[in-house]
Amino acid sequence: MKFLSAINMTGGYGGADIIHSCDITVEKGEIAVVVGPNGAGKSTAMKAIFGMLDLSEGTVTLDGKDITHMAPQDRVPIGMAFVPQNRNVFVSLTVEENLEMGAFIREDDISETMEQVYELFPMLKEKRNQPAGELSGGQRQQVAVGRALMTKPKLLMLDEPTAGVSPIVMDDLFDRILEIARTGIAILMVEQNARHALEIADHGFVMVQGENRYTDTGKALLANPEVRRSFLGG
Amino acid sequence: MEILNALALLANFVVVPATAYGAQLALGALGVTLIFGILRFANFSHGELMSFGTMAVILFTWVLQGQGVIIHPLPTALLALPVGILVAIVLSLTTDRLVFRFYRRKRANPIIFAIVSVGVMFVYAGLVRIVIGPDDQSFADGARFIITAREFKELSGLAEGIAIKQTQVVTIAVAVAVVAAMFWFLQKTRSGKAMRAYSDNEDLALLSGIDPDRVVMIAWIITAALATIAGTLYSLDKIYKPFIFLQILLPIFAATIVGGIGQPVGAILGGFVVAYSEVMLTYAYKKFLAYLGPSGWAPDSLVQLLSTDYKFAVSFIILVVVLLVRPTGIIRGKVIG
């Protein structure tokens, strides 16, 4: 059993099911990437794993513990952190206040974690007293990831962290994500930039119409001619 | 000398009263903006919450006055204020528990909340009428003036005096202290930052482990305190009139919207904008212009843009103009709709 195992997930937002018997797993220190065409249910699968969606079937376990029916906010204290795709920073709060709010549930000294985030994203330290809403798209994503790291999560979930940022910023962000994974955190992310994401991924899940189509290591998926033809543009 | 007299006249009849009135409106608007920022609805019951809190202050002031506990030259009401605040907090939290929480759980539309708050307003108004009655109540004591017009004239040698009432100074001093305390809370404390975070982005606040029930509770506590203070200062300055608290909603809402809904700094700015507009547009400038013109000359009319009977129309006009021209308010706030 992997650190996070979401097995046989089926569900939607009340109406028709959006994901069907979907499996997503990730091990500590690894990066798992979910790719697929628009509307494949990638983000929905992420939300299901974080409990923001009722599952009619399937189980989600973290570290062997069944959390299928746990409320999203209760998943934060047990080590899960989620960075949504949109509205993922407090725009009117400063960068530093964003990080502080990320650590809201912690009672201990957060200054060390904050220093680690600033080491990871030196730009944020420079802009610590600026409102997050005044930052560029890439810097905002850094704030969003930094905020999520403040709880010292064991599993970091990122929903399209590179949406709308320039290629250079994207490279840099992927490097940082690799760095975070090296500290032993499990990372699960949904990505539009499939090729690039699979290059850094240990495992990849290709989803189509709410189902797993291909599941393999990142390298194998990149080498698979069918995957290349259908999802990576040749 | 003539110019100084003109300025003294203006200070006496415009600047001093408008500043005190502006401070009262600002405190009221702060409460409305806070509830809008956290609970996301226009709280029509705010005026009657002010009335209820003030009523509690008045009742306890009478008790204190009866016991001979006074703090001359300051008004006894200041001593009774904490008790009134406590009563208003209990009322707000009870209302939230019995009424607003139900709609919050149902994730009701903001307009439903607003209508519900109108109902709450009528209930509060009814409670006030039952307890203290519909009549005006006077409870101000202590020194009446810091400086009277005559004293000022003797001191300065001017023909025009500037009278400063004790209640005006108390209003401004208390308002400054309260606003400073509130901004310190919002900017520096963990709970305050959590409130700003919640107001900014509710979903992300949940993802960060911020407890919405606690944020809502703190919002009501602060709002009840602000409402009681605003109502008490307003009633000390003028008189406690239960019926005024329905009318005062208009300038308070105007101040909230002018400043930018959900923006505390905006609420304060808005309070003063509305107060100054109201006083300046209803002041008769005849004497003022007579001082500035050639000696012996005076305008034939009163040079009053609007009769004081129409002072609430000023708020209304400001409200309409702001909503047409800059719906976000001075400081970019939320737009209702």
Q: Give domain A1-79+153-234's CATH superfamily.
A: P-loop containing nucleotide triphosphate hydrolases (3.40.50.300)
Q: Judge contact between A158 and A86, C-beta under 8 A.
A: no
Asked if the model's pLDDT at residue B292 lies above 90, the reply is no
Lowest mean pLDDT among A17-31, A95-109, B235-249, B291-305: B291-305
Break chain A into its structural domains and give their ranges: 1-79+153-234, 86-150
From chain A, pick out residues whose CB is under 8 angstroms from the CB of B206.
72-73
CA distance A167 to A204: 21
Distance from CA of B284 to the nearest CA of A (A): 43
Contact check, Cβ <8 Å, B206/A73:
yes
Tens digit of each residue's pLDDT (9 = 90 or more) over B174-227: 999 999 999 999 999 999 999 999 999 999 999 898 999 999 999 999 999 999
Asked if the model's pLDDT at residue B166 lies above 60, the reply is yes
Between B104 and B295, residue with greater pLDDT:
B104
* Strand A186-190 versus strand A31-35 pairing type: parallel
- Report pLDDT for B266: 93
From chain A, pick out residues whose CB is under 8 angstroms from the CB of B194.
101, 104
Sign for the pseudo-dihedral over CA of A175, A176, A178, A183: positive
Peptide bond before residue A77 is cis, with ω within 30 degrees of 0: no
- Report pLDDT for B294: 86
Span B128-148, average pLDDT? 92
- Report pLDDT for A173: 93
Sign for the pseudo-dihedral over CA of B98, B104, B107, B112: positive
- Report pLDDT for B317: 92
Span B65-74, average pLDDT? 90
Q: Which residues from A are below 8 Å from B when comparing CB atoms?
A: 72-73, 76-77, 81-82, 84, 87-93, 97, 100-102, 104-105, 147, 151
Contact check, Cβ <8 Å, B190/A100:
yes
- Report pLDDT for B337: 44
Pick the residue from chain B with its C-alpha nearest to A105: B209
Mean pLDDT taken over chain B: 93
Contact check, Cβ <8 Å, B209/A105:
yes
Distance from CA of B199 to the nearest CA of A (A): 9
Mean pLDDT taken over chain A: 93
Span B228-241, average pLDDT? 95
Pick the residue from chain B with its C-alpha nearest to A98: B197
Contact check, Cβ <8 Å, B208/A72:
no
The CB density around residue A221, as the number of other CB atoms within 10 Å, is: 25
Amino acid found at A27: E
Element counts in chain A: helices (H) and strands (E): 10, 10
Chain A and chain B share a number of CB contacts under 8 A equal to 58
Q: Judge contact between B270 and B254, C-beta under 8 A.
A: yes
From chain A, pick out residues whose CB is under 8 angstroms from the CB of B186.
none
* ipTM value: 0.88
Contact check, Cβ <8 Å, A73/B207:
yes
Tens digit of each residue's pLDDT (9 = 90 or more) over B21-34: 999 999 999 999 99
Q: pLDDT tier at B336 (50, 70, 90 boundaries)? A: low
From chain A, pick out residues whose CB is under 8 angstroms from the CB of B209.
73, 76-77, 104-105, 151
Out of A73, A101, A105, the one facing B197 most closely (by C-beta) is A101
